[in-house]
Amino acid sequence: MSNFIFVRDTKGRPLSPCQPGVGRSLLNAGKASVFRRFPFTIILNKEVDASPKPLELKLDPGSKTTGIALKQSDKIIFGAELQHRGQQIKEALLSRRQLRQGRRNRKTRYRQARFLNRTRPDGWLAPSLQHRVETTLTWVRKLIRFAPIASIVQELVRFDLQLMQNPEISGVMYPQGELHGYEVREYLLAKWNRQCAYCSVENVPFEIEHIQAKSRGGSDRVSNLTLACHDCNQKKGNQDVRAFLATKPDVLNRILKQAKLPLKDAAAVNSTRWGLFNALKETGLPVTTGTGGQTKFNRNRLGLPKSHWLDAACVANFDTLEVLTSKPLLITAKGHGTRQMCGTNRYGFPTRHKSRVQIHKGFQTGDIVSATVTAGKKIGCYVGRVLCRASGSFDIATKSERVAGIGYKYCSPIHKKDGYSYAF
């Protein structure tokens, strides 16, 4: 079943979301109109005196993708996955820095270094990290406008570092309960890509394996732990890892190197978690938190598959949960274009000039359109983001391909540019 659809009255006040069938009936009867395509929202033609049921917005912030879920009582009625573009921002800034450094070396070779002249404010985050906070906050504010959200739940701590460093901690120092061991396992699953470190098998039950056996002086620290399937774990036993992998030097080097590496994605999440938490509190809604191990425990208890939006649904404590949707809205951050008026080649020399005119034939690059081509070599129906040209020959980026040379007369707008692309 697809997501519930959002409803607003004629004054723009959010009402309780309704099932797609109810929304379709309202549209067919002329009692409502389409207000927005993504997320699908209808607006009633009259004012309604109603008291909507409060919703709970649940977030599972991630390095690449953030899971979003809306909970009404004990039911999940809306799910979405927001894909960030932090890596693209990092690469763009790196490219800009290299071009500028090259120009400075050519033109001001003997200029004194000035990289220590600037100071950063407290709480500063790198642009690629700040993007994750701002994009998530943008969608929180959008959903608050479309739905009667009364509270927010965020997965604040991805991994319990205290428990991972000292798994034996207990008693008053750490309340050992049903979640004991879930933090370490979740960390290892993410770090070792959910596959056996020795044979790379996937989709089998994994066991936590000591790289250096405890009988040979190994510790329980996460830097000495990995994942292994049952056969590899039994075959290795308490052998030294170098002796066990003597005939596989490439595998040995990979394991020893990866064991020492920090978890990059976890570092990004841990860097932005408090920034997002403080930003969410500024919305004025009550904000509660949960841990990553707690999320996994709830997901396993309910028998739900692994996905970002279902992880969001399982954040924090609850007794029962019923998922009424199976098709989350897939949101991908695309940005709002570039303000750069002069394009350069890879050496930093100008090669092209960007026109100031952004709207061509009534369309703007980034709009989502539907094109039904009835003649020529590209007969068919295409839906996706459009790339506009002054000539009127557009490109459409669909879910699977990019189709070039579509005339503007075949295009009809579906959703105006907002910096995101959408799919199901």
Alpha-carbon gap, residue 8 to 160, rounded angstroms: 41
Counting every residue, how long is the chain?
424
- Cβ–Cβ < 8 Å for 188, 224: no
What pLDDT shows up at residue 21? 94
Contacts (Cβ under 8 Å, ≥6 apart) of 247: none
Alpha-carbon gap, residue 231 to 254, rounded angstroms: 20
pLDDT in tens, the chain (424 residues): 689 999 999 998 999 999 999 999 999 999 999 999 999 999 999 888 888 999 999 999 988 999 999 999 999 999 999 999 999 999 999 988 888 888 778 777 677 777 788 888 888 999 999 999 999 999 999 999 999 999 999 998 665 544 444 544 444 434 444 455 566 787 788 788 889 999 999 888 899 999 988 888 888 887 888 999 999 999 999 898 988 998 888 989 888 888 877 667 777 887 898 999 999 999 999 999 998 888 988 999 999 998 999 999 999 888 899 999 989 999 999 998 888 888 888 777 888 888 888 899 999 999 999 999 998 888 999 999 999 999 999 999 998 899 999 999 999 999 999 999 999 8
Other Cβ atoms closer than 10 A to 342: 10
pTM, two decimals, is 0.78
- DSSP letters for 189-231: HHHTTTB-TTT--BSS-EEEEESS-GGGT--SSGGGEEEEEHH
- Cβ–Cβ < 8 Å for 3, 39: yes
What are the backbone angles phi and psi of residue 365, rounded to the nearest 5°?
-55, 125
Reference 302, options 316, 323, 285; nearest CA is 323
Alpha-carbon gap, residue 24 to 30, rounded angstroms: 10
> Which H or E element spans position 375?
none
CATH number of 355-423: 2.30.30
Alpha-carbon gap, residue 229 to 175, rounded angstroms: 30
Indicate the residue type of 422: Y
Contacts (Cβ under 8 Å, ≥6 apart) of 208: 184, 185, 188, 225, 226, 227
Reference 244, options 232, 258, 257; nearest CA is 232
Q: Indicate the DSSP class of residue 46.
A: S
Compute the half-sphere exposure of residue 215: CA atoms within 13 Å on the CB side of its CA: 6
Q: Which tokens in the block code for residue 217?
A: 């002086």
Residues facing 353 on adjacent strands:
342
Indicate the residue type of 229: C
Alpha-carbon gap, residue 44 to 2, rounded angstroms: 21
Strand 55-60 versus strand 411-415 pairing type: unpaired
Alpha-carbon gap, residue 72 to 142, rounded angstroms: 18
CA dihedral (400, 404, 410, 412) positive or negative: positive
**367 in the Ramachandran plot: left (φ > 0), alpha (ψ -120 to 50) or beta?**
beta
- DSSP letters for 118-178: ----TT---HHHHHHHHHHHHHHHHHHHHS-EEEEEEEEESS-HHHHH-TT--GGGS---T
Contacts (Cβ under 8 Å, ≥6 apart) of 156: 273, 274, 277, 289, 290, 291
Alpha-carbon gap, residue 31 to 14, rounded angstroms: 16
What pLDDT shows up at residue 168? 44
What pLDDT shows up at residue 79? 96
Alpha-carbon gap, residue 387 to 385, rounded angstroms: 7
- CA distances, 45 to each of 5, 68, 78 (Å): 16, 29, 24
